[in-house]
Structure 1
Amino acid sequence: MKSSLHSKINDILVIIPVRNEETTIVDVICNLQSYGLNQIRVVDNGSCDRSKEKAQACGVEVVTEKIPGYGQACWRGLQAIPDNINWILFCDGDGSDDLSCLTDWLRLRNRYDFILGDRGATIQGKAVMTPVQRFGNALATSLIALGWGHYYHDLGPLRLIRRDALAKIAMSDRGMGWTVEMQVRAVELDLAIAELPVGYFPRQGGKSKISGTISGSIQAGTIILTTLGKLYFKKLFSSQPSLSTLHLLSGILLLIGAIILIPHGDFRNWEVFPNFWLGMAVMSFGFILSWGITRINWWWFWLIAIATRILLLFMYPGDDIWRYLWEGYIQILGFSPYDFAPNATELITYRTSWWSQINHQGVSAIYPPLTQLGFRILATISPSVILFKSAFIVADLAICWLLTRQFSYSKVLIYAWNPLIIYSFAGGGHYDSWFILPLVAAWTFLDLKEVKGNYYQQNIICLFLSAIFIGLSIAIKWISLPILAFLAFLAYRKINFKTAILVLLLGILPFILSSLTFCSFNSCYLIPTSSSFVSHGRSADFIPYFLAKIWQYSTTTNTIFALPLALGTLFLLWKKQTYQQFTQGYFFILLIISPIIHGWYFTWIIPFGVATQNWGIRLISISSLVYFMMPYRSSLGNHYWKLTMVETLCLWLPFAIGYCSDRYFKKLFIQLGVATANRQ
């Protein structure tokens, strides 16, 4: 059997690192030669005995490496390899390797790039390995599985690897990390790997440099773990593109803009607005530059996303946050914010130092019940602006994280590095990130990836979880109700009517449960319909603004806009097939029809633009700065809270045209890119 293999294995070079193994090296060499392995190179790594002389007497090549180290000896053995060599076999010179497996290994060379032995897979090997060796192997291989997704069983010394594969690995370790580096890099390079059972003998001679002593074992373990750590961080960073000028400039501009913004958030003072707009313009320029980024380092992505938000945490907030603090605060005192407006006589004795900054003091709470419970929890800890804003930032960053689970970091830049997003939640302190987060979470259970066939029947639990998340969003902000209707309609189309009803019930449940705290059998005033904000208020509107030019009655009631919103929603139910398509389309229709718009309302649609990279969504993130003309005029004493026609057009046209012409814009940019490439 052995002789039949001789003609096929002249392309294998055996490398044997030795140090003080004169009693075993001859037997090891003879055993290898019995299998037809005649290309043998012994590397003497500082032996004090006759290991070198005995190896030379066997007629094999012996080289010397004076620098100690297992990896150093192996590396020396790989220098000046003959051209006919295609495979490298590593084995120890202490006689512990059971070479009877070689016959099978040699036959498998046409199927694999890397073959190594698993000593623990044989009764003999498991019995001989020390507890320290077994523990070290288990720890190291588990860490490799965790970091690289491939589970090895052993770090054994007996291994056969293709020469060109080893060249691609480009081994750099020169110590005890040699074996673990080879195995990790083999996974990274997607080599064809086989791990086969091998026997293992007690050491036949010499003294172990590792398992023989506690200090040696600790040292080897430390080296292996350190090597794994280095390899893992190298993997993280080497898999990322280098930081180009575009990456740096975009991120730095966002940081500079945020720094400019910090002291200019108190909109009661008109003097802050020039610097506020300057800071937002600098951030917007950095954001625009990010549109050209196709790949980005994960750590640079998160560094800018987190740093800009932390910087604006210390910016003076918008006036909505004082209502949040107040409504959480009075709940602790036992009052319902739905029953008492901030200026209620019953609450006079409880007014705080910041009470005068609460907006619309004559209007009771308009925020849904789950939002109020959130305010109460935070106020119980402390009615602090920093605490409330931190809670909004945490939800905001959670949205970033959910989006990066399904889309590339470069795509998520449209949300994570968006100046409107960063200001709205971290700077202005608006709670809308709480409302967006469960909508994005629901999306992760549905169609972030293309859904085909009977996905919903097979993953009905995902459908129900999505309904619950949408229900949480409804209990935080009412406007999610049509999204629940879409999900129920989807359940009806894909499964059956009963499932659709169950989806509706699950979606309504969070609102019902959170309402119990504020409702009784006699009353449940969760929406102050008498408020001008609800009944006929106007703010930065688009279609209602122009409708009022030809139909004055439309300015007296907001309920008339429910009909076009309902018709638009029905159209989307019929036309759109996925959650993302419906939600993005619904928010677009809602925003252009709504009679009351605040700048941060545009944040609702932005996360769903990650999938499409819609041009209208990109542009509104910048043109929304026009909204702040209203608080600017208010700080000057003009409290007419409406935009001029020119301002309205500047705010809305980029959004409307960009959104509706998104396909044209993308096609144009592709054509420009092709034309540029052809010229080059």
Structure 2
Amino acid sequence: MIVSPSDLDAVLVLIPVRNEAETIGDVLKVLQNQGLKRIRVVDNGSTDASAAIAQAHGAEVIREPRPGYGQACWSGLQNLPNGVHWILFCDGDGSDDLNELPKFWQYREQADLILGDRRATATGRKTLSPVQNFGNALATTLIRWGWGHRYHDLGPLRLIRRDALDAMQMGDRGFGWTVEMQVRAIEQGLRIQEFPVQYRPRQGGRSKISGTISGCFQAGVIILSTLAYLYFQRANPSQNPTSNTLNTPREISPSPASSASIRVHLRSGFLHPHPILPSTLLILGTAAMGQLGHSDQVPQLWWSVAVMGAGFIWSWRWQSLSPLWFWGVAIATRLLLLPMEPNSDIFRYMWEGLIQNAGFSPYHLPPSAEILEPLRPGWWFRINHADVSAIYPPVTQLGFRLLAWISPSVLLFKLSFVAADLAVCKLLCDRFQPHRALLYAWNPLILYSFAGTGHYDSWFLLPLVLAWFAAESLSPTAQAFSRSALGIGISAGLKWISLPLLGFLAVFPLRKGKWKLALGIPLVGILPFVLSALPYCDSAACPLVPVSSGFVSSDRSAEWVPYLLAQVAPQLATHNIVYGLLLGIVLLGLMARSNTFLGYAESYFFALLVLSPIIHIWYFTWLVPFAVATQNLGTRLVSFSAFVYLVLFYRQSLGDFSWALTPAERTLLWLPLLLGWTWTRFRPSTARPPTAQ
């Protein structure tokens, strides 16, 4: 299609700029070489020569000091000259490939809104950052779910009919301008055309959005909150300022009554909400966390947890949730956290798998052993406690060995932990419904610990949850108890701490006089552990736990009861075995008074954490699956307060290696768990939720 100069006179190009002096001149040259004469550059508070360069190149310059992409666009649309029937939006940084413009002219007869799809080309996808690619995919997916039209991108290069844009009465004055335009186009029934365009890295200057994590984060918040607002407007048509008729433009100023109505709608939406807003907060917080480390960036990480927590807390009151939303957010958040810098433990996992495949036992040789020096990879220096032999149980070691045989890769190990984690989500979702299983699936602590920092505890939680469900099946037969015992045995082979649950499981048949079953349960449960230990033991020794190491016998971290007792009796500060004996006494009491596996298991893990001298942030994940059934307030609260622990990493990055929380920090970490647990235990029974569907 041949386009005459008179046809292009009907097109006005609008370019918002802020500090684009390096690139705006070249952009204007390309536009003018394409035959475009009507070009407006909106200077949105530049501190460089952007405006002067634009004027020198013959562009009309409008100054708009109020910040905001939408504000700049809106100002540029005021007082349009006669004869302008189309508005072309593009960026001033040189990233848009303006040689694609002839394609736009071709679609003018058959479309009202024409969009360039950067994500449809390989160079476009590569140029966009992973966060931008994900954010565009998420936003366009949410538009499809909310409005039924499938976009592929929210790109800046777009051509729209003037009268259609007038009718939209655009209200956004920030970075939500583009997404509002695309949603309004659907609501007005416009003819929409989208086609692939090339996209390049910016040709100069620094991006205000994609150049920084905080910029991406802020843009994501704006875009998705704009979608949430537009969705609420759609649900309440009386609040929608647009219609299907084409009107003259006017600035929107909601009346007090209109604002009050929106507030009422939002309040009622808290109890019976569409999940878009809390999901948005959770995903944005997760996206920010995925770009961070866990040591020197702890303050930023706390902010990301706060954003995630806002969405997570919002979900606590829900009475139902679509499985699509449940799984969409559960999977998306975990994928976003895979790039996060892992904890040093994961390098220990890979090392122990690596040396096993070389014929060495991690129980007999610490990582620092001289004989293992030729095996050291480039990441060996990141292994923690290099002078201590393996502390992980034998089933875990077999898992490490298998993964390291495939590839000693952080991503592979993380994916295996996420796979087990998602399997737990599935079990809890099927048994307790999606809106309650969110307490696990959307939990910031769960997401951080497994997909983010790469701890293997999801491996032991999976067989543990299976054992729990088997023990509390509708028909608790001998076969069900055997399955439960086997699940506990596998769980204990992955993490020692599950072992005491076998004793309680044997009590059930014992109370009914079924002695053979009571004796058989421990035997079934111990079988996975024994079989997996055989490759690591010989006639001379079976050193599965380095009990002589200070790491096991005397080390401390963020403990509670041992810390308090050490203030009274300092000699207890280096004798961890005392708390093992104390825990044994507590377990006998729990066994005597607990009537369900759930009640015993949840109380046991709570007692274990409170009494343990060695505590790490990911240990609190052990409580979360059981809280899905009990809705334990303490577990919900510690899902946030546990992040106080990260101050240890932060201080270490500053050169303080004391590895001890202050009294105030311990209180901030533990008090929410203790108070919430107490409240849950003593609240009226009528307020407690059922334990299953």
TM-score (norm 2): 0.59
Is 1:615 aligned to 2:640, yes or no? no
Is 1:252 aligned to 2:243, yes or no? no
Alignment of 1:520-669 (within 5 A): 520-663=538-681
Q: CA shift at 1:292, angstroms?
A: 1.6
Runs of 4+ residues over 3 Å off in structure 1: 241-246, 663-670
Equivalent position of 1:431 in the other structure: 456
Q: CA shift at 1:262, angstroms?
A: 1.4
Amino acid paired to 1:623: S
Post-superposition CA distance 1:433-490 (Å, at most 9, x none) = 0011111001121216xx6xxx43xx21011011001000111111111101100122
Count of residue pairs brought into register by the alignment: 420
Q: CA shift at 1:245, angstroms?
A: 4.6
Q: CA shift at 1:363, angstroms?
A: 0.5
Is the 8 Å Cα contact of residues 272 and 319 (structure 2) preserved in structure 1?
A: no
Amino acid paired to 2:571: Y
SS of equivalent to 1:639: coil
Alignment of 1:435-474 (within 5 A): 435-447=460-472, 455-456=475-476, 459-474=477-492
Is the 8 Å Cα contact of residues 246 and 290 (structure 1) preserved in structure 2?
A: no
Alpha-carbon distance in 2 for matches of 1:321, 1:547: 33
Q: CA shift at 1:667, angstroms?
A: 7.9
Find the partner of 2:433 among 386, 398, 408.
Answer: 408
Q: CA shift at 1:260, angstroms?
A: 0.5
Alpha-carbon distance in 1 for matches of 2:561, 2:274: 38
Is the 8 Å Cα contact of residues 394 and 529 (structure 2) preserved in structure 1?
A: yes
Alpha-carbon distance in 2 for matches of 1:436, 1:349: 35
Amino acid paired to 1:273: V
Is 1:357 aligned to 2:382, yes or no? yes
Amino acid paired to 1:274: P
Alpha-carbon distance in 1 for matches of 2:271, 2:313: 17
Is 1:280 aligned to 2:311, yes or no? no
Q: CA shift at 1:495, angstroms?
A: 4.7
SS of equivalent to 1:435: helix
Alpha-carbon distance in 1 for matches of 2:307, 2:511: 48
Alpha-carbon distance in 1 for matches of 2:513, 2:383: 48
Equivalent position of 1:392 in the other structure: 417
Is the 8 Å Cα contact of residues 338 and 451 (structure 2) preserved in structure 1?
A: yes
Find the partner of 2:342 among 317, 334, 337.
Answer: 317
Amino acid paired to 2:570: Q
Q: CA shift at 1:297, angstroms?
A: 0.7
Q: CA shift at 1:542, angstroms?
A: 0.5
Alpha-carbon distance in 1 for matches of 2:682, 2:515: 39
Is the 8 Å Cα contact of residues 328 and 375 (structure 1) preserved in structure 2?
A: yes
Alpha-carbon distance in 2 for matches of 1:537, 1:628: 18
Of the two, which has the highest radius of gyration? 1
Alpha-carbon distance in 2 for matches of 1:487, 1:667: 25
Q: CA shift at 1:563, angstroms?
A: 1.9
Alpha-carbon distance in 2 for matches of 1:503, 1:605: 24
Is 1:422 aligned to 2:447, yes or no? yes
Q: 1:494 to 1:609 in 2, by over 3 A?
A: farther
Alpha-carbon distance in 1 for matches of 2:398, 2:620: 25
SS of equivalent to 2:657: coil
Alpha-carbon distance in 2 for matches of 1:526, 1:667: 44
Alpha-carbon distance in 1 for matches of 2:271, 2:585: 48
Q: 1:586 to 1:663 in 2, by over 3 A?
A: closer
Find the partner of 1:494 among 507, 512, 517.
Answer: 512
Alpha-carbon distance in 2 for matches of 1:390, 1:340: 28
Q: CA shift at 1:491, angstroms?
A: 2.3
Post-superposition CA distance 1:498-551 (Å, at most 9, x none) = 111110100000000000110011111000011112101101001011111000
Amino acid paired to 1:567: I
TM-score (norm 1): 0.60
Q: 1:503 to 1:663 in 2, by over 3 A?
A: closer
Is the 8 Å Cα contact of residues 519 and 525 (structure 1) preserved in structure 2?
A: yes
Is the 8 Å Cα contact of residues 394 and 533 (structure 2) preserved in structure 1?
A: yes
Find the partner of 2:290 among 235, 240, 262.
Answer: 262
Amino acid paired to 1:334: G
Alpha-carbon distance in 1 for matches of 2:617, 2:408: 25
Is the 8 Å Cα contact of residues 271 and 318 (structure 2) preserved in structure 1?
A: no
Q: CA shift at 1:281, angstroms?
A: 1.4
Q: CA shift at 1:664, angstroms?
A: 5.1
Is the 8 Å Cα contact of residues 246 and 293 (structure 1) preserved in structure 2?
A: no
Alpha-carbon distance in 2 for matches of 1:249, 1:357: 39
SS of equivalent to 1:516: helix
Is the 8 Å Cα contact of residues 541 and 593 (structure 1) preserved in structure 2?
A: yes
Amino acid paired to 1:613: Q
Alpha-carbon distance in 2 for matches of 1:244, 1:572: 39
* RMSD, matched Cα: 1.8
Q: CA shift at 1:666, angstroms?
A: 7.0
Could you tell me the percent identity over the aligned residues?
49
Alpha-carbon distance in 2 for matches of 1:589, 1:277: 27
Equivalent position of 1:145 in the other structure: none
Equivalent position of 2:537 in the other structure: 519
SS of equivalent to 1:512: helix
Q: CA shift at 1:494, angstroms?
A: 3.2
Q: CA shift at 1:496, angstroms?
A: 1.3
Is the 8 Å Cα contact of residues 294 and 646 (structure 2) preserved in structure 1?
A: no
Post-superposition CA distance 1:278-327 (Å, at most 9, x none) = 11111111111111211111100110011100110111101100000000
Alignment of 1:279-298 (within 5 A): 279-298=304-323
Unaligned 5+ runs, structure 2 = 1-268, 689-693
SS of equivalent to 1:461: helix
Is the 8 Å Cα contact of residues 641 and 668 (structure 2) preserved in structure 1?
A: yes
Amino acid paired to 2:318: I
Amino acid paired to 1:322: F
Q: 1:427 to 1:666 in 2, by over 3 A?
A: farther
Is the 8 Å Cα contact of residues 246 and 289 (structure 1) preserved in structure 2?
A: no
